[in-house]
Amino acid sequence: MDISLFIEKLALCLPGFLFAIVIHEAGHAWMAMKFGDDTAKYQGRLTLNPAAHYDLVGTVIFPLIGLMMGPIPFGWAKPVPVDPRRFKKMKAGIFWVSFAGPGANILMALISTILFAFFYTKLPLDFIVRKELIKMSEYSVLINIVLAVFNLIPFPPLDGSKMVSTFLDYNMARKYEELQRYSFVFILLLWFTNIFSYLLQPALYLGYAAMNLFVWMMG
Per-residue model confidence as pLDDT tens for the chain (219 residues): 688 899 999 999 999 999 999 999 999 999 999 999 999 999 999 999 999 999 999 999 989 998 988 889 999 999 999 999 999 999 999 999 999 999 999 999 999 999 999 999 999 999 999 999 999 999 999 999 999 999 999 999 999 999 999 999 989 999 999 999 999 898 888 877 888 889 899 999 999 999 999 999 998
Torsion of CA 6, 204, 46, 32, to 10 degrees: -150
Residues whose CB falls within 8 Å of the CB of residue 160, separated by 6 or more in sequence, listed in order: 98, 102, 151, 152, 153, 154
- Which residue in the list 8, 25, 132, 178 is annotated as catalytic? 25
Predicted local confidence at residue 90, as pLDDT: 94
Tell me what percent of the chain is helix, strand and coil, each rounded to the nearest 5: 75, 0, 25
pLDDT score recorded for residue 1: 63
- Alpha-carbon distance of 16 to 144, in angstroms, equals 8
Say which amino acid occupies 89: K
CA distances from 159 to 57, 101, 139, 140, 173 (A): 19, 8, 23, 21, 14
Q: For residues 78 and 81, give the distance between their C-alpha atoms in angstroms, rounded to a whole number.
A: 9
In the chain, where are the structural domains located?
Answer: 3-218
Q: Residue 191 has what pLDDT?
A: 77
* Active-site residue flag, 25: yes
Report the alpha-carbon angle 183-186-187, nearest 5: 90
pLDDT of residue 25: 97
